[in-house]
Amino acid sequence: MDLNLNKDRKIGEISGFSNFFINLIFLIISLVCILPIVFVIIISFTNEQELLVSGYTFFPKEISFDAYSYIVAAGDVIWRAYGVSIFVTIVGTILSLLIICMYAYPLSRSSFRYKTQFAFLAYFTMIFGGGLVPWYIVYTTVIPIKNSIWIMIVPYLMNAWYVIIMRTFYKTTVHESIIESAKIDGAGEFRTFFVVVLPLCRAGLATIGLFCTLNYWNDWYLPLVFVNNAKLYNIQYFMYQTLQTIQFLATSSTSFSNAGLAMQSLPSEGARMAIAVLSIGPIILAYPFFQRYFVKGLTVGAVKG
Amino acid sequence: MSSENVTVRKRKRGFFSEIRTNGALFLMLVPGAIVLLINNYLPMFGVVIAFKRYRLFNNFFDSVIRSEFVGFDNFAFFFKSPYAFNITRNTILYNLVFIALDLIVPVALAIALNELRNKRGSKTYQSLMFLPYFLSWIVVSYLAYSFLSMDKGFINTTFLSMFGLDPVNWYSETKAWPFILTFFHMWKYTGYNIVVYIASIAGIDSEYFEAASLDGASKWQQIRHITLPLLQPIMIIMTLLAVGRIFNADFGLFYNVTKNSGSIASVTDVIDTYVYKALRNSNNMGMTAAAGLYQAVVGCITVFTANMVVRKIDKDKALF
Amino acid sequence: MKMKRYLCLALVVVFMLAIALTGCGGDKASSDSSTAASTAAESSAAAESSTAEATATVPAETVDLTWILAGPQADPDVDMIAQKASEYLKDKLNVNLKMQVFSYGTAYDNKVNAMLSAGEAIDVVFTAGWAADYKNNAQKGFFLALDDYLKNSPIREIDGEDFLNSAKINGKIYAVNTNKEQAHQWGFLLKKDLVDKYKVDIASIKKMEDLEPVFEQIKKNEPGIYPLLPVQMDAPFKLLDWDNLSADDAPGALYPVNGKTTVVNQFTAPESIAHYKKMQEYYKKGWIPADAATLEGQVTLMTSGKYFANSQSMKPGKDAEMKISTKIDWVQLNLTPAVKTNREAGGSMLAIPAKSKNPDRAFKFIEMLYTDKTLRNMFSFGLEGVHYDKVSDNVIAMKPDNKGYASAGNGWRFGDQFKDYLVKDVDDPQKWEKFKQFNDSATALDSLGFAFNPKDVEAEVAACQSVVQNYYKQLFTGSVKDVDAEVAKMDKELKTAGVEKVLKEMQTQYDAFLAAKK
């Protein structure tokens, strides 16, 4: 921590005391933000017996890896859920990125006559919606994808807000003259778009891509509303089930031969926290990227908010 | 709009000739338009269910059209139910508190962060505070549970027992939840909001501050007379956008963090959770749809009003 | 600017459209009963011709048949069993069976009610008074009327005319009863090892309070074991044995004795309040899990072996049935007298949802669950060699290491349960005779055969149900601070929701029912 005395103070800087005080406040706030996460990590490494007897604690007497070895051993369902999450995230991100970018592009072209109408088609969804009931009925009867993995992908493919951001990216980074010159070189619209425009908007792609990735990875709402088949549970929904009924972990796994035994020896308290830790893992790993591009996206979003 | 000037010459051309010339651009719009159609516009047609005693016929459209028309009966039932007032009140009150705190706390923190002398520290704090934003509400509900669980939670086993207090059954303690929910809302979103304001502060020309310092202005004076006035537009926009969504609650927060516990429903039920639970528990599609439509229409009005105000302040910031 | 114009225009269009549609859609002819009747008539007219064909030849085209079922938990092995069943059915029905099992309780209702009312294309669905509310869904036209199908069906004889007709609503049968025990009594299943350890004299226990000394000892000596496990509706509240006239979570019930004909609100009756207070006392003593009000999945929890007593609906061999499900030894403790009520007549049924794409084959399938011993035992116990081994023609031994099919032994959910195998060392060889004795010994309540028609108070019933849903869990588990205050709050909300109108309507209908009976 910076405890410099006033003599080193540059013009416009706050005093050493204020600096110390503000640092202290931020230290506390940062701790509040991070401690719950650390707490869950600690619980996942705590001996099960201790959890049962004395509850969750920041300073366990005994460190144990039981929860994780249990997940490795009994993990078929957990890995499956993990796999569903990964599949949905990758496929969903690619598809929605493509759809959003393609939708935003004509809207950014001043020579396109119907851009207002199509922009409106997207924006209107931000203002008015049919509500949960008709939405639910549509996905169960009109487009019956309720029991397939696509139900966790399709509803999030379009997002009017991202269309706005992407359009702003196009408008600010791709000058009409570049497109005109590409056209003069004989490139069609699609070629111009994929070869000239998109590479120029790499930052925009990264931003929207990360928005989508986060949405898909963290989604639990679609499985909550639609998914019945346990094989289609994603990791978030699996966690939701496990928090509701701790034994869900044991009963849904087929790796163990004896039900009663598996359940009685299950380090359930620790194991469910371990799953939470596993679900946060990828986000922590990708966090530096997330942070960088999110800030960029937010700044652009604020330009045309 | 500029397009009007550009297209004056082409005015006479019809839609189909536009398709001929700009076919590729239309093609690019097709996938997105289809998704919007399925995901947003088909359900919009379904709002009619709110005026019907919904029954099944050949297919969705047929069912919507041929079900018996009951006028505003569904709405009447909804508003007569003990919940209509309660969930509306909860939704608005929580959102008002969130809006106020989301304005004051992040702005104050962003300004303070900006004043820190150790820039690396400032970056680290930002990173740590931004992290919760990236966690799903399910994970947050786990974190909440690890503190609030009746028999194992940190608060009961460590904190309260330290003072010799009896454990509290948090998931049925109505008085605590307005605070708990506010805490977790702030916990998740403060870092995010700080980033927005930090970006705006960074955009302020440093010459203003240097000139002010030379004139002997104190830090407080600089903040009051330079930073805050220059932040004002973005503060107003962010707030108005939030006001526009005052009728939409954060489903994840109110459903997951509370573990959907019935005992505290009177203070934690909001319109979104009510509609979800009604879809699940009853098979009265009409009334559930009515509650949803009520939210959509009032929400639509608030968005419009907020947008109108934004437009008055800064045309470029308006949504539409 | 242009955008703003569009927006206003679009909003106007949306609302105009809404009004126009609602206006022209005022199809008065399609009121409730006639809707159900007409949809039913359409499909059963088609059915009649094709059922005749179906018996003669197997349809050439394979179709998907989706069967939604309640069970102890969402079993992982269900897919495997469905696949084997499809193979078995290949030259009989030619269907590709798809099964979905949701656990008893709100999990089932939450999924299935929405599926039915949204009109999802499912073919066979489990329904009862306590699961996917049969009466309510049938009256709203979400099930097909089965009368035409049943005309020449063997189910008629197996179920018996009376039992079959007990499912009648407005003169039509919308679901077929499982042929099983026809009475119920309430009691506890107690974990056998603890019963032995503490030498509990089962015969001396006549009511829940008699178990208190045992609960106390277990709390003291068995860390990690909870004496009592109430989960959602599966709570000792059931021991009050209210004769519910509508769904379990809807107010309106009769006392379980003949002669008392006043409809009361069972959730605020003095007996219930006294019971809530008892539960609160237990909760405070730590006899009930701290988080009981948010627990789900009774059978799953029982399987963990961490709970001593749980309330159950009893019949001969309930302990054996639950042993097969949970792999834990139980002692059965019957407390209330055996009675025949609407609960059993409609305690476990199969229906065909209105939007089934293949109602004919769906009915054929239901029929086979009554007639085809091989088929129904696949669902009752799983697969031979995987979940059980055959000991003799009619006796099997469950494999101790099977856990993928906790539904094993829950054959009471469909068809003719009397065709189920007996499980070696678990089932009483006299099981079916005892069932018959049980049926004969039980007294029938006067309300048997009464079906409340909620048409005029539909919204009030729904509103009351959501109030009850918000309160019952904490009251049934005793996890409230102040019972009286909580009940007063619930009572106030129920009154706003129109409980009085509901009770009055029930009373009127019930009085008319009694008068007609005389």
On whether the C185-337+450-517 domain is CATH 3.40.190.10, my answer is yes
Question: What does the block give as tokens for B187?
Answer: 């916990």
Q: Neighbouring chains of B at 3+ CB pairs within 8 Å?
A: A, C
Long-range contacts of B212-216 (CB under 8 A, 24+ apart): B213/A11, B213/A12, B214/A11
Closest Cβ–Cβ partner in B10, B36, B275 for A121: B36
Residue C192 pLDDT level (bands cut at 50, 70, 90): very high
Percentage of residues in chain B having pLDDT higher than 70: 94
Range of the domain at B10: 2-71
Q: Does C287 touch chain B (CB under 8 A)?
A: no
In A, minimum Cα distance to B27 occurs at A102
For residues B174 and B303, state if they share a domain.
yes
Could you read off the pLDDT of B29-43 as tens digits, one per residue?
999 999 999 999 999
What percent of chain B has pLDDT above 90? 39
* CA-CA-CA-CA torsion sign (C426, C428, C434, C435): positive
Query: Is the domain of B55 the same as that of B95?
Result: no
Considering only CB atoms, A136 lies closest to which of C118, C355, C401, namely C118
Q: How many domains does one find in chain B? A: 2
Which of A88, A123, A110 is closest to A216 using CA atoms?
A88
Q: What residue of C is the nearest CA neighbor of B285?
A: C117
- pLDDT of B191 reads 92
Residues B63 and B133 in one domain: no
Do B41 and B109 fall into the same domain? Answer: no
Q: What is the mean pLDDT of chain C?
A: 85
Measure CB to CB from residue A33 to each of B3, B129, B213 and give the nearest one: B129
Q: CA of A214, closest CA in chain C: separation in Å?
A: 27
Is the confidence at residue C14, as pLDDT, over 60? Answer: no
Residue C279 host element (H or E): helix C270-284
Q: Does C113 touch chain B (CB under 8 A)?
A: yes
DSSP β-bridge partners for residue C125 = C68, C351
**Average pLDDT in the A3-32 region?**
76
Give C65-90 pLDDT, tens digit per residue.
Answer: 999 999 887 788 898 999 999 999 99
Angle of helix A268-303 relative to helix B119-130, nearest 10 degrees, comes to 120
- The CATH classification number of C33-181+344-377 equals 3.40.190.10
B36 and B84 both lie in a single domain: no
DSSP assignment of A18-29, as one string?
HHHHHHHHHHHH
How far, in whole angstroms, is CA B14 from its chain's centroid?
Answer: 41
> Which residue, B267, B288, B270, B290, is CA-closest to B279?
B288
This complex has an ipTM of 0.88
Task: Report the pLDDT value the prediction gives residue A250, as an integer from 0 to 100.
Answer: 64
Residues B82, B67 share a domain = no
Q: What is the pLDDT of residue C16?
A: 54
d(C-alpha A228, C-alpha A152), whole Å: 12
Q: Does C21 touch chain B (CB under 8 A)?
A: yes
Q: Neighbours of A (≥3 Cβ pairs closer than 8 A)?
A: B, C
Contact list, B34 vs chain A (CB under 8 Å): none
Q: For chain C, what are the domain ranges?
A: 33-181+344-377, 185-337+450-517
Contact check, Cβ <8 Å, C21/B281: no
Q: For residues B238 and B94, which has the higher predicted lDDT (pLDDT)?
A: B94
Residues B130 and B207 in one domain: yes
Model confidence at A97: pLDDT above 90: yes
Q: Is the CB of residue C303 less than 8 Å from the CB of residue C406? A: yes
**What is the torsion angle, in degrees rounded to the nearest 10, for the CA atoms of residue C168, residue C169, residue C171 and residue C174?**
-60
Per-residue confidence (pLDDT) for residue C40, from 0 to 100: 43
Q: Which of B71, B86, B120 is the last residue in one of the domains?
A: B71
Tell me the C-alpha distance between C440 and C125, whole Å: 29
Measured over all CA atoms, what is the biggest interatomic distance in chain B, rounded to whole angstroms? 83
- pLDDT confidence band for C429 (50 / 70 / 90): confident
A chain contacts of residue C301, beta-carbon cutoff 8 Å: 245, 247
Sequence spans of domains, chain A: 6-68, 74-303
| Cβ neighbours around B69 below 10 Å, total | 19
Query: pLDDT band at residue B12, thresholds of 50, 70 and 90?
Result: low
- Both structure tokens of C64: 């998907």
> Would you call C1 an interface residue with chain B, using a CB distance cutoff of 8 Å?
yes
Q: For B157-209, what is each residue's pLDDT tens digit? A: 888 888 888 888 888 888 999 999 999 999 999 999 998 898 888 888 888 88
Q: Which residues of A touch C14 (CB under 8 A)?
A: 128
Tell me how far apart the alpha carbons of residues C313 and C322 are, in angstroms, rounded to a whole number: 11
Given a cut of 50, is residue C337 above it in pLDDT? Answer: yes
**Local structure of C264: helix, strand or coil:** strand
pLDDT band at residue A305 using 50, 70 and 90 as cut-offs: very low
A window 38-77, beta carbon within 8 A of C: 52-53, 77
User: Do B29 and B170 sit in the same domain of this protein?
Assistant: no
Which of the given ranges, B62-76, B179-193, C62-76, C122-136, has the highest pLDDT on average? B179-193
Q: Give the pLDDT score at C49.
A: 43
How does the average pLDDT of chain B come out, rounded?
87
Strands in C360-447 per DSSP E: 388-390, 395-398, 422-423, 443-444
- Report the C-alpha gap between C126 and B87 in whole angstroms: 33
CATH architecture of structural domain A74-303: Orthogonal Bundle (1.10)
Q: Residues A259-302: pLDDT tens digits?
A: 444 555 667 788 889 999 999 998 888 888 888 877 777 666 55
Q: What is the DSSP letter of C151?
A: T
Average pLDDT over residues A205-214: 90
Predicted local confidence at residue A2, as pLDDT: 43
> Nearest residue on chain C to A246, judged by CA atoms?
C301
Find chain A residues with C-beta within 8 A of B42's C-beta: 130, 134, 138, 142
Tens digits of per-residue pLDDT, C270-303?
999 999 999 999 999 999 988 888 887 788 788 8
Confidence of residue C408 (pLDDT cuts 50, 70, 90): confident
Residue ending a domain, choose from B71, B106, B121: B71
Kindly state whether residues B54 and B94 are assigned to the same domain: no
Q: Which residues of C touch A (CB under 8 A)?
A: 2-3, 6-7, 10-11, 14, 73-74, 76-77, 79, 100, 102, 111, 114-115, 118-121, 223-224, 294-297, 300-301, 303-306, 326-328, 355, 400-404, 406
pLDDT at residue A10 is higher than 50: yes
Mean pLDDT (whole number) for C355-373: 94
Q: Please, are residues C172 and C39 in contact by the beta-carbon 8 Å criterion? A: no
Q: CB contact, 8 Å: B84 with chain C?
A: no
**Structural contact between residues A256 and A249, judged by C-beta atoms closer than 8 angstroms:** no
Q: What is the pLDDT of residues C37-68, one digit of tens each?
A: 444 444 444 444 444 444 556 788 899 999 99
